[in-house]
């Protein structure tokens, strides 16, 4: 299997990179897209892909949370597949806690009506909700959802989920968007052979992403297996010199 980053940038990335969406492809050419941000159609086009490559029973899309750089591209998949009679609805894997939220707070305003018909998320996608502490299967791989601390809504944590899964003989921890919270996710760091870590490179800490300066405080053992993504445009620190595996670049492939 291969894992390919369509982009590695933050929500508002510009200048040739794309938002941090990626896909896994098996030996049969079936694909699972991990997040579908607002620029995903452009990122896929650059790789010779379109919505057709992620529709049908053997393919799918995973949604980590409802921010636009991870979820607003679902509008593109929903409309294009609905009006293409040659493809079936895309499979959509997501936490059960996100099903209502992504529709009512994200997609409904644009997708709630089609020529007068009232529709819902199920009209566009085959929904596969995942229970708390649960997992989903795709192409023989088990993807376990790992809730991370990304943002708070008053006193409540807004749902956001990374993934723990195994490709070949490598166990992978994909953090998704997360604050620097090593006490909460250190067990997953230790479990993994490869870590794909949300990394903010701005000199001004937002408080809702793990900043590079904070990640520098992790142990050498953890940093050595950590690839950094979801960074801002501009010059990057020397991650390899600082003990990390490196910064992922747009289009980079990892083979398993």
Q: What is the pLDDT of residues 195-220, one digit of tens each?
A: 999 999 999 999 999 999 999 999 99
The reply to whether the predicted model has a pTM over 0.75 is: yes
Query: Can you list the positions of beta strands (E) in 38-81?
Result: 60-63
Mean pLDDT (whole number) for 99-103: 96
Q: Which two tokens stand for residue 171?
A: 């166990």
Residue 140: pLDDT band by 50, 70, 90 thresholds?
A: very high
Q: Over 90: is that where the pLDDT of 116 sits?
A: no
Instruction: Look at residues 82, 85, 24 and name the one whose alpha carbon lies nearest to residue 58.
Output: 24
Output the average pLDDT for the chain.
Answer: 96
Beta pairing class for 60-63 and 91-95: parallel
Q: Over 90: is that where the pLDDT of 173 sits?
A: yes
- Per-residue pLDDT tens digits for 60-73: 999 999 999 999 99
Greatest mean pLDDT among 11-15, 149-153, 172-176? 172-176
Phi, psi angle pair for 228, to nearest 5°: -105, 140
Question: With contact defined as beta carbons under 8 Å apart, do 38 and 73 qualify?
Answer: yes
Instruction: Look at residues 195, 208, 140 and name the one whose alpha carbon lies nearest to residue 164.
Output: 195
Sign for the pseudo-dihedral over CA of 78, 82, 86, 91: positive
CATH number at residue 148: 3.60.15.10
How many domains is the chain partitioned into structurally?
1
Q: What is the three-class DSSP state of 211?
A: strand
Query: Can you list the positions of beta strands (E) in 64-206?
Result: 91-95, 113-114, 117-118, 126-130, 135-138, 141-147, 152-153, 156-157, 161-167, 170-174, 194-198
Q: Over 90: is that where the pLDDT of 176 sits?
A: yes
Looking at the chain, the whole-number percentage of residues with pLDDT higher than 90 is 96
Q: Over 90: is that where the pLDDT of 115 sits?
A: no
Render the burial of 92-121: b for 16+ CB within 10 Å, e for the rest: bbbbebbbebbbeebbeeebeeeeeeeeeb
Which has more confidence, 114 or 76? 76
Q: Over 90: is that where the pLDDT of 25 sits?
A: yes
Report the C-alpha gap between 20 and 152 in whole angstroms: 21
Determine the structural domain holding residue 90 and report its residue range: 2-255
């Amino acid at each position: 299997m291969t894992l390919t980053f369509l982009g590695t940038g933050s929500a508002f990335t510009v200048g040739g990179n794309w938002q941090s969406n990626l896909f896994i492809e098996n030996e049969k050419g079936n694909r699972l897209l991990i997040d579908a941000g607002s620029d995903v159609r452009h990122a896929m086009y650059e790789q010779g892909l379109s919505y057709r490559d992620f529709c049908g029973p053997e393919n799918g899309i995973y949604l980590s949370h409802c921010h636009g750089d991870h979820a607003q591209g679902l509008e593109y998949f929903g409309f294009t597949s609905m009006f293409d009679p040659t493809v079936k609805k895309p499979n959509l894997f997501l936490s059960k806690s996100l099903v209502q939220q992504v529709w009512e707070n994200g997609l409904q305003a644009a997708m709630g009506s089609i020529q007068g018909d009232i529709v819902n998320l199920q009209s566009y996608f085959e929904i596969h909700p995942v229970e708390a502490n649960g997992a989903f299967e795709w192409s023989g791989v088990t993807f376990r959802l790992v809730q991370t601390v990304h943002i708070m809504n008053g006193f409540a944590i807004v749902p956001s989920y990374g993934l723990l899964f195994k490709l070949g003989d490598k166990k992978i921890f994909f953090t998704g968007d997360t604050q620097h919270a090593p006490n909460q996710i250190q067990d997953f760091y230790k479990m993994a052979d490869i870590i794909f870590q949300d990394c903010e490179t701005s000199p001004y800490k937002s408080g809702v992403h793990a900043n590079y300066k904070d990640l520098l405080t992790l142990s050498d053992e953890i940093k050595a297996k950590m690839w950094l993504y979801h960074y801002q445009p501009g010059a990057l620190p020397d991650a390899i010199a600082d003990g990390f595996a490196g910064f992922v670049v747009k289009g980079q492939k990892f083979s398993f």
